[in-house]
């Protein structure tokens, strides 16, 4: 006769009596990352990119991956899930030689952006003019003493928001040209004006060399 011992309570039960409970437990594990937990549509889950040190969204059946949430995402539920499960450690230091720099940014997307969705909104419908007004307000707030990293954490449409906008180290050719040119022109600690790329509108801050 086979038994399973519950170590924490020192009880023994025949294995067959635990099978229904075991099935329920397995089912609950399978539901981790489901829509009820993440806000994502069925089939989608949150994964973590080791190379970018950022979360992304993956659909196993379709073999699709993307940086922004798919259509049909419950945005507020996803925000809660990300806050509870994907708070990131400090960015790993990279090469600070070979012409590489480190920068953070705050991104505001609009409906004409290359991918008009983000972790904050599954579908971004604001116009470019509205996005300009929004990012100019952030620019003004930074000039008045607020920190870009604090605004990026709550307001940026980039997944790097979870790292306070930190993109880590990058070199020439790693970013979109407009972004790259603006970042390399900055002095350490300096914040750019509004920079436009295919992704949207950015404020960029070059980090001090560690």
Give per-residue pLDDT as tens, 136-169: 999 999 999 999 999 999 999 999 999 999 999 9
> CA 17, CA 4: separation in Å to the nearest integer?
10
Q: Which residue has the higher pLDDT, 2 or 132?
A: 132
> CA 150, CA 157: separation in Å to the nearest integer?
13
* pTM score, whole prediction: 0.56
35-57 confidence digits (pLDDT tens): 448 889 999 998 877 665 677 88
Active site residues: 105, 158, 176, 199, 202
- Give the number of other Cβ atoms within 10 Å of residue 75's Cβ: 16
Q: Which domains are seen in the chain, by residue range?
A: 31-85 (2.20.70.10), 101-206 (3.10.50.40)
For strand 64-66 and strand 54-59, is the pairing parallel, antiparallel, or unpaired? antiparallel
């Amino acid at each position: 006769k086979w038994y399973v011992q519950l170590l924490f309570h020192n009880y023994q039960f025949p294995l067959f009596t635990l099978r229904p409970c075991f099935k329920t437990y397995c089912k609950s594990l399978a539901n981790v990352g489901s829509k009820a937990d993440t806000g994502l549509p069925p089939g989608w889950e949150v994964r973590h990119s080791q190379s970018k040190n950022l979360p992304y969204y993956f659909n196993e059946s379709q073999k699709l991956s993307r940086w922004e949430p798919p259509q049909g995402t419950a945005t507020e539920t996803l925000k809660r899930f990300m806050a509870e499960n994907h708070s990131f450690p400090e960015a790993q230091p990279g090469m600070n030689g070979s012409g590489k720099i480190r920068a953070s940014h705050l991104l505001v997307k609009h409906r004409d952006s290359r991918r008009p969705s983000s972790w904050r909104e599954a579908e971004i419908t604001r116009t470019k003019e509205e996005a300009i007004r929004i990012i100019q307000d952030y620019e003004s707030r930074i000039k008045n003493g607020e920190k870009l990293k604090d605004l990026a954490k709550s307001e940026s449409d980039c997944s790097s928001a979870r790292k306070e906008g930190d993109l880590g180290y990058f070199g020439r050719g790693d970013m979109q040209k407009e972004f790259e040119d603006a970042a390399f022109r900055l002095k350490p600690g300096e914040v750019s004006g509004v920079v436009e790329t295919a992704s949207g509108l950015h404020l960029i801050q070059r980090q001090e060399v560690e």
